[in-house]
Amino acid sequence: MNSVSRSRRRRLSAAAVLGAIALTATACGGGGGSGEGDTVVIGYTGPLSGGGAAYGENVKIGLEMAIDDLNADGVEVDGNPVTLELKSLDDKYAPSTAASNAQRLADQDKAPVVVSPNAGAIKAIQQINSGRSNFLVSAYTSDPAIVQADNPLTMMIPPNFESYAEEFSETAMEHGGKKLALLGTQSEYGQQWTKSIKDAWSEAGGKIGGDNSVDYATVSDFAGPVSKALSEKPDAIFVGGPSQPTALIMEEARKQGFKGSFLVMDQAKLDEMATVTKLDNLKNSVGVLPVSEYEDPGTEDFLKKFAEKAGEKKVPTSETALNYQGIAIIAKAMEAAGTTDDPEKIREAISEALPDVDDKYKVNGFPDEITEQGHLLNPNLEATFLNEDGKYTKVPIEQVSDEK
Amino acid sequence: MTLFIQQLFNGLALGGVYCLAAIGLTLVFGVLRIPNLAHGALYMLGAYITYFFLTTVGVPYIAAIGIAAIMLFIVGVGLERLVFHPLRNSPHTHHMIAAVGAMFFFQALAQAIWGADFRRMDTPITGELRILGAEISAQRIVIIVTAVIVLALLALFIKRSIHGQTIEAIEQDRVGASLVGINPSMVSMLTLGLSALLATIAAGLVAPINLLSPTMGDALNLKVFAIIILGGLGSLPGAIVGGFALAIAETMTATYISSAVGEAVAFIVLVAVLAIKPNGLFTKAVQR
């Protein structure tokens, strides 16, 4: 008797809960349509927990800053005011999770654009973004395989990493010498970089020692790998992974007496590295130009706003700055296309929208064209050499083609 | 030769850290009979709390490690009371799932408090020593010396003190120990507390030469499991020998063969031990 009434009670409460959910759902649907202007969801799937969380957070800050600024300025599509809204999902760096997150954002939240900051994830998303679902993927990765895939709904934001190898090699050779040691990280991206540097270095007539790549995420003490790399008596060392462990490796190399030059992979940012080690340990290095060294029209204000949002101590990186630019480009393309829900038209309108983007959103090498495959190209790409006086000198980079 | 000396010291320092972390894990296995998968997370938490006292509060380095170790002892006791004790009569899979849950909880907690960014802990111990031509940083010497002292104290505690002896008694025979009046529940709490305390000392020592992040315990977790399986689950000498052996094997193969093999050596050893001598080098536990 008792059990019967309990099960009935449970069924009743289940029905009540369902009813409540249904009510809220209709209420939400009604609210969205009748408000002042439409709300458009910008989707974001990235690592927000686990080992890549810091990276994912940096990207997210850029997206949030852009959306706040754009909403404050007002976005108007086809005569109607539009409010942008960011919806973020955690994919813990797993491509399969990223793809299902992207699908969810596109189907449930009707996001016309999904941002993803990881090559593997983007490749997975490219399987579903034009076909099963329909959305533009705003791709934050410098792996050219993304645009080689010929996906019609891809916008690749950063420069192709292969562009750096030649200039990095020449600069490092000039300031160090002919013998290179390889001490990059063992991630897939790190290995692509290692290969690219290896090719450029031998082409420039240098010698290369054994491959001493280590997994920056799992090594407890960098002294061992560094001692080994130094035993080859190199004049230059290729390093790179996330900024902070890279800084530790360079510090250890200087401690063990290395005097030559460093080639620093683009994942590591010299100014961010200076927060964990002395600048002295980083001198004589070629790497990507810190955001704060850019002289674009919007850079100064961007740096101020970033400090307000993330705190004075945090260093703004290109993950934040380039994604900030990326969302501004997408918003402008929506305006130019006159639609917020047709990704094809938005993608098509990017090229015509680029010159119209407000100067305040130009912060980190603003692109002036988008290739047919969807790669945003900044005409004046620059890297940097951190010299003996601790000053960043600019190194112009000639961009290579994205073709294989 | 210089390279060899250099790498030997690097290996010994790494071994000290592995040992301190592995001993706690093996003790917990001996007493509670569970693989505590949250061990790496306790190590991570220990590092962050040391960092907090050293950098934010500003107490001296050694004191910061001491305070953090005591706090982690309490966390360990709490973990036993709140998670493992209520599950003591359930099947073993439940412990493992609970431990994984605790691991994610601690990681999320650290990320919520300290953020996902890497953090650097500066140490007052600076400078290098020249030993037979090799440059060894003072911090690594401190790691080796502290590890030896802590291990000696631990051995003394377990062999000579009443509380320590109860741990060994429970390891040998839980029912028998209860019959002579030892409270297994108290011993379980003491053991988990002790294991968290040792992990914190290891973390406090290694943090200045590495970085803090919420996932810093993951890599160590895998290594220490390999070590205690190599040494024999539940065996103290096994954990010590295993810790140093694995660390030196790792640095030496990375130096003389390749870094990739160095990374894999722990798991090659693990597979070999499981195939040839499944009970580990120092067979002790796993009788029941």
Share the mean pLDDT of chain B.
90
Taking an 8 Å cut-off on Cβ atoms, the answer to whether A221 and B206 are in contact is yes
Task: Give the pairing type, strands B128-131 and A154-156.
Answer: unpaired
Query: CA quadruple A307, A264, B122, B17: dihedral positive or negative?
Result: positive
Query: Which one has a higher pLDDT value, A324 or B117?
Result: A324
Shortest CA gap B30–chain A (Å): 26
Q: Which residue of A has its CA nearest to B119?
A: A276
Q: Residue B268: pLDDT above 60?
A: yes
CB contact under 8 A, A255 and B128: yes
Q: Which residues of B touch A225 (CB under 8 A)?
A: 254, 259
Which run of H or of E encompasses A92?
none
Question: In chain B, what are the domain boundaries?
Answer: 24-217
Higher-scoring residue by pLDDT: A177, B127: A177
Strands (E) in chain B, as ranges, are: 119-120, 128-131, 134-137, 211-212
Count CA within 13 A, CB hemisphere, residue B270: 16
Looking at residue B81, what is its pLDDT?
Answer: 95
Q: Does B156 touch chain A (CB under 8 A)?
A: no
Q: What pLDDT shows up at residue A33?
A: 39
Q: Is the dihedral of CA A222, A226, A228, A229 positive or negative?
A: positive
**Distances in whole angstroms, Cα of residue A145 to Cα of each of A156, A268, A322, B23, B58:** 10, 21, 19, 47, 49
Return the exposure string of A192-202: e unless at least 16 CB atoms fall within 10 Å of the residue's CB, then b: bbbebbbebbe
Judging contacts by C-beta atoms under 8 Å, the chain A residues touching residue B250 are 224
Q: Please say whether the beta carbons of A102 and A128 come within 8 A.
A: yes
Spell out which residues of chain A touch residue B128, defining contact as CB-CB under 8 Å.
Answer: 255
Residue entry with tokens 């205690």 = B228
**Selected residue of B117, B257, B267 to mutate for chain A interface (largest A Cβ count, 10 A):** B117
Q: Does the pTM of the predicted model rise above 0.90?
A: no
B128 interface with A at CB cutoff 8 Å: yes
Of B118, B206, B215, which has the smallest distance from its Cβ to A244's Cβ?
B118
Q: Between chains, do B118 and A228 touch, taking CB under 8 Å as contact?
A: no
B99 near A CB under 8 A: no
Name the residue in chain B with its Cα closest to that of A256: B135
**Contact assignment for B135 to A248 by CB distance below 8 Å:** no
Q: What is the mean pLDDT of residues B159-188?
A: 90
Contact by Cβ (8 Å): B196, B73: yes
Interface size between A and B, measured as CB pairs under 8 A: 111
| Contact with chain A for residue B82, Cβ under 8 A | no
Q: B224 and chain A: CB distance < 8 Å anywhere?
A: no
Q: What percent of chain B has pLDDT over 90?
A: 58
Residue in B111, B128, B220 closest to A49 by CB: B111
Mean pLDDT by 10 residues, chain A (404 residues): 50 53 44 60 94 91 96 93 96 93 95 94 93 91 92 94 92 91 90 93 91 85 88 93 92 91 94 91 94 93 95 92 96 95 94 94 94 92 92 91 81
pLDDT at residue number A27: 42
Residue B101 clears pLDDT 50, i.e. is over it: yes
- Partner A contacted by B254 (CB < 8 A): yes
Q: CB neighbours (10 Å) of residue A10?
A: 10
A211 contacts B259? CB cut-off 8 A:
yes
What is the reported pLDDT for B273? 86
- Residue to mutate among A221, A226, A314, with most B CBs inside 10 A, is A221
Side chain identity at B29, as an amino acid letter? Answer: F
pLDDT given at position B222: 87
- pLDDT digit string (tens) for B29-47? 989 888 999 999 999 999 9
Residue pair A65/A324 in contact by the 8 Å Cβ criterion: yes
Most B CBs within 10 Å: which of A61, A93, A220, as the mutation test of the B interface?
Answer: A220
**What pLDDT is attached to residue B274?**
85
Q: What is the mean pLDDT of residues B18-31?
A: 93
**Of residues B281, B244, B274, B249, the one with CA closest to residue B263:** B249
| Residue B55 forms contact with A (CB below 8 Å) | no
- Are A224 and B108 within 8 A, CB to CB? no
